[in-house]
Amino acid sequence: MQKNPWFEEFQKNVAELIARSPAADIERNVKAFMGQAFTRMDLITREEFDVQVALLGKAQTRIEALEAQLQALEHRISILETSTN
């Protein structure tokens, strides 16, 4: 896709206009406010979230394996109990 020089110049002019206007101060203040709000929310990064998702997946797999093992042991116990009676 070819860039339109007129459109690029228009974007540049709008960005310069905003930088020189009170809108730039408002933008900075809003960014600072939002940054403080996000800090107070105790958010985690996407990387940390992905690590926790992976750990949870491993834990779920391990739980399923242990449940199957427990079920097999319970079955063996029930067979032993019925054979001794």
DSSP assignment of 44-71 equals --HHHHHHHHHHHHHHHHHHHHHHHHHH
Tens digit of pLDDT at every position of the chain (85 positions): 566 787 788 888 888 877 777 777 787 888 888 888 878 888 888 999 999 999 999 999 999 999 999 999 999 999 999 988 6
- pLDDT digits 0-9 by tens, 34-52: 888 878 888 888 999 999 9
My answer on whether 37 and 8 are in the same domain is yes
Between CA 4 and CA 10 the distance in angstroms is: 10
My answer on whether 25 and 60 are in the same domain is no
My answer on whether 4 and 29 are in the same domain is yes
My answer on whether 32 and 63 are in the same domain is no
pTM of the complete model beyond 0.85: no
Cβ 27 vs Cβ 21: under 8 Å: no
Residue 66 exposure: Cα atoms within 13 Å on the Cβ side: 6
| Mean pLDDT of the chain, nearest integer | 87
Segments forming the whole domain that contains residue 37: 1-43
Residue 69 token pair: 């093992």
State the total domains in the chain.
Answer: 2
